[in-house]
Amino acid sequence: MRNFVVALRFTVLFFGINLLSISAPFAEEVEMDMDLMQTIESTNDNLSSNISLENAESAKADAQTLNELFAVVEEHYKKEVAAGNDVAEALDLTKKSIKFSSEIITFLDQKDFESAANTATDLARTCKTCHNFYKED
């Protein structure tokens, strides 16, 4: 009986993995590139700490990077919309993220760290809103 359970587990594991690799190519079209999101996540973390440490130059570089990464995300969702997928909300949230990161750069130029921090909080809220919509957890 015990051996049977062990064998069953392997079977489930094996088919589970196969299923993942089969569904991956189909999923690619609609899902966000995970490496891109990981980079967005670490850049966003750096941004928050650089703002709180008042490292204007590093924080500006982070905000600039986020701005460019979200431009890539925007391209992705524009294609999705063109393909007839219902991602209007995501496109809107991406545009918001681009706007927030630009505003952060302006505040940092003015050495207004408080406004930069508040806008960084708005930006982080936008991440969560989009994930609530589209993340498959």
Query: Does 65 contact ligand HEC by CB under 6 A?
Result: no
Please report how close the Cβ of residue 110 comes to ligand HEC at its closest, in angstroms.
Answer: 22
The token pair that represents 29 in the structure block: 């079209």
Considering only residues 40 through 59, tell me which ones interact with ligand HEC, judged by CB under 6 A: 40-41, 44
Query: Does 126 contact ligand HEC by CB under 6 A?
Result: yes
Query: Does 116 contact ligand HEC by CB under 6 A?
Result: no
The token pair that represents 116 in the structure block: 């930069």
Question: Which residue lies nearer to ligand HEC by CB, 99 or 131?
Answer: 131
Please report how close the Cβ of residue 80 comes to ligand HEC at its closest, in angstroms.
Answer: 10
Half-sphere exposure of 57 (CA within 13 A, CB side): 0
52-56: Cβ within 8 A, 24+ apart = 52/113, 52/117, 54/113, 56/108, 56/111, 56/113
